[in-house]
Amino acid sequence: MLNEKYRGFLRWVVYQIYPRSFMDSNGDGIGDLQGIIQKLDYLKALGVNALWLCPCCQSPNDDNGYDISDYLDIMDEFGTMADMDALIAALHERSMKLIMDLVPNHTSTAHRWFQESRKGRDNPYSDFYYWFDEIPNDWQSAFRGSAWEYDALRGQYYLHSFAVSQADLNWENPAVVQAMQDVVDFWIQKGVDGFRIDVIDMISKDFEKNQNGFGPRLHEFIHALFGREQARLLFTVGESGVQDIDEMARHCAAERQELSTLFVFDHMECGRADKFTPRQDTLRSLRDLLVRWQQETEKHDLFPALFSDNHDQAPMISRIADDQALRYESATDLAAMLYLLKGVPFIYQGQEIGRTAAHYDSIDCFDDIESIRAYRGFCETMPPEEALAKINFGSRDNARRPMAWDTGKNSGFTTGTPWIPLHSRDREINAARDLSAKRSVYRFYQALLRLRTAHDAFLDGAFRVLSSADDPFFIYTRSWKDETWVIVCNFESRQKIRLPFGCEAPALSNLCRHAADGEYLPYECAVARVKKQ
Ligand code: TEU
Ligand code: CA
């Protein structure tokens, strides 16, 4: 049984919102907080009980909110602090939670702290960032090019692990730790229930080992944020480059008072050789990683964040399943593989209607800083068509197109001009169409989440894998007391599946199966209770 501190979190079902692209309430083409409020009933009906909002604070939007210029104020385009208060109240009224995105590694260079810091070496903010006379190492920005930029006013170089306008904070300075604690406390006062923490591994640097992250003081800093009395009961999920279970335990073991769980990213490489290069792959590779993390987290009294998509990735179904003729089957099969495991489900906006990657014929249809810089880089060594194909495949904009609500003007996202071109398949894939279809991804998610909350086996129940690594399908069980459930998820080929026990008729299936045993069509799945002996 999972330790008491974390057990309650297994009841959370989180929906991730990219506010800019979710719902526009005032016709300026940009999603906003009032737009989110308008859709709360849609989300509640889906069965989610928590929202994670990508950053909503003041920002010049070079990296869409991950470049924060004021942590204590709402981005003008998203609304006002009164709108945020209204959103929090509307959520809590519905017994839903709010998870804020905390960005502690860097601020926008437009932030007052940076503006002060660059003025010289003798002001109170002078050591808030990493300043050097000479470039001290060859660290690269995640968006290409050197991570060091010269600032003429200060006459020194500063570190930016991401865009030039995202300066890394110097956590070695106790005033920075204090400032970020104040940010956390401000949002706790506002009533938020948890945080998703951006690139948490990077807040402690290791200059000696030439490592921009996982530095010697990482755990001390995390503890300084979340080990304090007022923060201990929050749900905290760190975005991190952690790759193994021992490292995860150093962040998440309950007694450490650091983080509740982590986003671990190894399964993001399924179906690709690198972010912009496809690799032939199937659901097998995902299954193997899911199994490994289920077994290891269970052994270490931890729980994983269950996710396949987020705002930085092209949808998983487009990489390792069929996003064309069998799109419905693929989307629902993947959901059954993932969300009946032990952990906290994270559903990225659009996943619940089976959204896929998009396609465009021009780089002008893209907005993302990473994509545009990557495109320019590719064009140095390959023809533009090839470069564009890579961007279409891997661009973060695949996940950032306006949510398609219906088949009306601008897919019901805005009455104005959307800030970024609509999803190329929005006529075919939108919420209204999905909900009125005979086979609806949304209704499958709804049924799945209902089942998940109705039976303790899906929460803290033991996980066992029945299929073997060679099988072209995934079969697992979840057991709690004398109740066992089996989840059968077929992959891309037709298969005969025999189960080693008798089962009741499936409580959930994507193609209306009447028995858990038997022949499965491609991407067919079923969930059934095992008959008691
Ligand atoms: O992403 C951090 C991260 O790990 C990046 O390297 C990520 O893989 C990026 O999208 C490159 O492909 C977080 C946020 O999720 C991302 O949106 C931000 O751009 C980034 O931090 C900087 O704040
Ligand atoms: Ca708006």
Closest ligand to C-alpha of residue 414 is 2
Distance 420 CA to ligand 2 centre (A): 13
CB of residue 198 inside a 6 A radius of ligand 1:
yes
pLDDT digits (tens, 9 = 90+) for 277-308: 999 999 999 999 999 999 999 999 999 999 99
CB of residue 63 inside a 6 A radius of ligand 1:
yes
Specify the pLDDT at position 533: 77
Closest ligand to C-alpha of residue 102 is 1
Looking at the whole model, is its pTM more than 0.95? yes
Give how far Cα 231 sits from Cα of 113, 116, 194, 227, 252, Å.
Answer: 24, 29, 9, 6, 14
pLDDT digits (tens, 9 = 90+) for 513-530: 999 999 999 999 999 999
Distance 415 CA to ligand 2 centre (A): 10
Distance 28 CA to ligand 2 centre (A): 5
Which atom of ligand 1 is the closest one to the Cα of 396? Answer: 10
Residue located nearest, by CA, to atom 2 of ligand 1: 199
Specify the pLDDT at position 148: 98
Dist CA 529 CA 522 (whole Å): 22
Distance 366 CA to ligand 2 centre (A): 20
Average pLDDT for 476-488: 97
pLDDT digits (tens, 9 = 90+) for 302-358: 999 999 999 999 999 999 999 999 999 999 999 999 999 999 999 999 999 999 999
Dist CA 13 CA 451 (whole Å): 13
Active site residue 239: yes
> pLDDT band at residue 366, thresholds of 50, 70 and 90?
very high
Beta strands in 123-269 (DSSP E): 131-132, 148-151, 156-159, 166-168, 194-197, 235-239, 261-263
Whether the pLDDT of residue 442 is over 90: the answer is: yes
In the chain, the percentage of residues whose pLDDT exceeds 90 is: 100
